[in-house]
Structure 1
Amino acid sequence: MRRPLETEIVLRGASALSAKVSTLADPDIHAHNSFSHPDAVQVRTESIATPGARFTHTFLAASVNRVVLELARDVTFHRIDVGEYRVILPGRR
């Protein structure tokens, strides 16, 4: 991705009580940590306000992200691999 990507996240059969996104990114895609600069690239974590069953989040360009959800009800999950992307969706028990 060369630019930020606004993404709608929809939970089928569940609702998120809370959501946090951890992002590893830097404006310079060649940035890296080294012994002389061990904290040049850091993971930043932020909360998503009022996630619910449907919410949007803008993912930074050239980033690696982890989304952690606290769900309001007990659900099972189904993994779907789509090319290089892995999508994990809640389903009904």
Structure 2
Amino acid sequence: MFFLLLVGLLHGGDAQNICQWTSPLNDVDRSLFVEMHNTYRAYVARGQAYQLGDKLPGSTGLFELKYDCQLELMAQMNTYSCNQTFHPPTTSINYFT
């Protein structure tokens, strides 16, 4: 579920607020991402999610997330330091070490 990558962006705040900077995302996109992510979180919380054919346990502490424009800005600014070098498809790059 690639929506888990959005966890860093989805924390506190209000999805209806317009972020005060130029962004590739608009409020419709932000709301859609939050809604889809929270839908998957709700499946997990209710114990309706499966992994490798096994039902995952539910959770009472898995709450809905809200959008935070400040975290969006921080994530966007971090992308500016990304290396844009392309690697052959046979090369595996570990960016987290």
- Normalised TM-score (structure 1): 0.22
Higher relative contact order (CA 8 A, sep 6+): 1
Structure number with bigger Rg = 2
More helix by share: 2
Compare the two structures and name the one with the higher strand fraction: 1
